[in-house]
Amino acid sequence: MRRLIIIGAGGHGKVVADIAMRVGYRDVAFLDDAEGLAECAGLPVVGRASDWGSFPDADFFVAIGDARARERIQRGLGGRAVTLVHPAASVSRRVEVGRGSVVMAGAIVNSDVRIGEGAIVNTGATVDHDCRIGRFAHVSVGSHVAGAVTVGDGTWLGVGSVVSNNVSICGGCMVGAGAVVIGDIKEPGTYVGVPARLLR
């Protein structure tokens, strides 16, 4: 198997590294802009994010939480980002997972879901049937998305949040930890509480 270079040597990156090794990558290293950072989770940091061109034979994964930065860097890679699905995730045979996305341990993704590129379905999250998860969206740890939900590009569902069935959330939203979304969200912004309301 090829070398995998993970861009972003933070907490998210080290979880991604574990997944990569579980799916067979043996040679895993990081790129990160932090000064003097030599290793992450026992794996070497071999340069800065902009050094990716020095590794012509490697696969890449962008492990940066910020959706805009993730998108900018993944675009720069020109189609070289790989998709990672933890072997302990349950993903229906009728799911499409976009390039550069990750589905983490314990996540469940049910039938007829489409996940865009650069998205994160984090540890223990569930995405039920017929959902559309946008490009560079993030379904955080333990978040539950019921059936036929649309999550727009770059929208971040916070840890433990819940989205009721048939709801549509536009792009550019932050749904706070523990929030419960029971109706469509049409305006980008930060939404918190039960039921979720725009934070002014």
Ligand X SMILES: CC(C)(COP(=O)(O)OP(=O)(O)OC[C@H]1O[C@@H](n2cnc3c(N)ncnc32)[C@H](O)[C@@H]1OP(=O)(O)O)[C@@H](O)C(=O)NCCC(=O)NCCS
Positions marked catalytic: 129
Question: Does residue number 176 form part of the binding site for ligand X (CB under 6 A)?
Answer: yes
Query: Considering beta carbons, is residue 100 or 176 the nearer one to ligand X?
Result: 176
Supply the minimum distance, in Å, between the C-beta of residue 193 and ligand X.
5
Site membership for ligand X, residue 193 (CB under 6 A): yes
192 binds ligand X (CB under 6 A): yes
Q: Locate 104 and state its tokens.
A: 């983490």
- Residue 159 binding ligand X, by CB under 6 A: yes
Work out whether 178 is an interface residue with ligand X (CB under 6 A): yes
Structure tokens at 82: 């790989």
CB of 159 to ligand X, least distance (A): 4
Which of 141, 145, 162, 170 is in the footprint of ligand X by CB under 6 A?
A: 141
Q: Which of 158, 169, 170, 173 binds ligand X (CB under 6 A)?
A: 158
Report how far Cα 75 is from the mean position of its chain's Cα atoms: 15
CB of 26 to ligand X, least distance (A): 27
29 sits near ligand X (criterion: CB under 6 A): no
* Least CB distance to ligand X at residue 76 (A): 24
| Pair of tokens at residue 84 | 């990672």
Torsion (CA) 55, 78, 20, 69 in degrees, nearest 10: 100
- For ligand X, which residue of 49, 174, 181, 185 counts as binding (CB under 6 A)? 174
Single residue of 83, 101, 110, 122 touching ligand X by CB under 6 A: 122
Q: Tell whether residue 62 is a contact of ligand X (CB under 6 A).
A: no
Which pair of tokens denotes residue 24?
Answer: 């067979």
Interface residues with ligand X (CB under 6 A) are 122, 140-141, 158-159, 174, 176-179, 190, 192-193, 199
